[in-house]
Amino acid sequence: MSRTVPLNARERRALDGIEAGLSRDASLRRRLRLIGLRARAQRLGRAPALRPGPHLLVLLPVSLFLLVAGITTSAAGFIWAFAGCWLLTGITLLRLLSRTLRGPDRRFPPRPFV
């Protein structure tokens, strides 16, 4: 059984000051929003969705093409092109996985892939 005790004016001002300070804290708001999003995803029984960008949708087929071309022709140019493209694809996949595990942050949009 909980009892509510009215606050006097001094306590009310102190509480209002604390609440104002917490409402200005951007990192706290972001953390609380992420906690809410993760809790909602757990309630719904699903993980956050993977949303690959267009650069990843281009890099994966190009990497596969260069892999097949490098294997069939054994040309050094295809092999080096595959190595560079696969490195970019791996970095992009790691960023996507990291962003998915960390959760969305609408305040800081993802940087464009260079």
Cα torsion 102, 104, 109, 112 to 10°: value is: 60
Look at residue 6 in the predicted model and tell me its pLDDT: 85
**Based on the domain organization, do 4 and 37 belong to the same domain?**
yes
Supply the pTM of this predicted model: 0.44
Which pair of tokens denotes residue 2? Answer: 């909980």
With contact defined as beta carbons under 8 Å apart, do 52 and 96 qualify?
Answer: yes
**Based on the domain organization, do 109 and 69 belong to the same domain?**
yes
**Based on the domain organization, do 74 and 86 belong to the same domain?**
yes
Which pair of tokens denotes residue 102? Answer: 């960390």
**Based on the domain organization, do 30 and 58 belong to the same domain?**
no
Q: What is the pLDDT of residues 47-84, one digit of tens each?
A: 555 566 777 788 888 999 999 999 999 899 999 999 99
**Structural domain that includes position 104:** 50-114
**Based on the domain organization, do 27 and 79 belong to the same domain?**
no
Q: Domain total for the chain?
A: 2
**Based on the domain organization, do 37 and 57 belong to the same domain?**
no
Report residue 109: phi and psi, to 5°: -65, 155
Look at residue 114 in the predicted model and tell me its pLDDT: 45
SS (H, E, C) the chain: CCCCCCCCHHHHHHHHHHHHHHHCCHHHHHHHHHHHHHHHHHHHCCCCCCCCCHHHHHHHHHHHHHHHHHHHHCCHHHHHHHHHHHHHHHHHHHHHHHHHHHCCCCCCCCCCCC
Mean pLDDT score, 103-111 = 54
**Based on the domain organization, do 87 and 67 belong to the same domain?**
yes
**Based on the domain organization, do 73 and 21 belong to the same domain?**
no
**Based on the domain organization, do 34 and 55 belong to the same domain?**
no
**Based on the domain organization, do 15 and 54 belong to the same domain?**
no
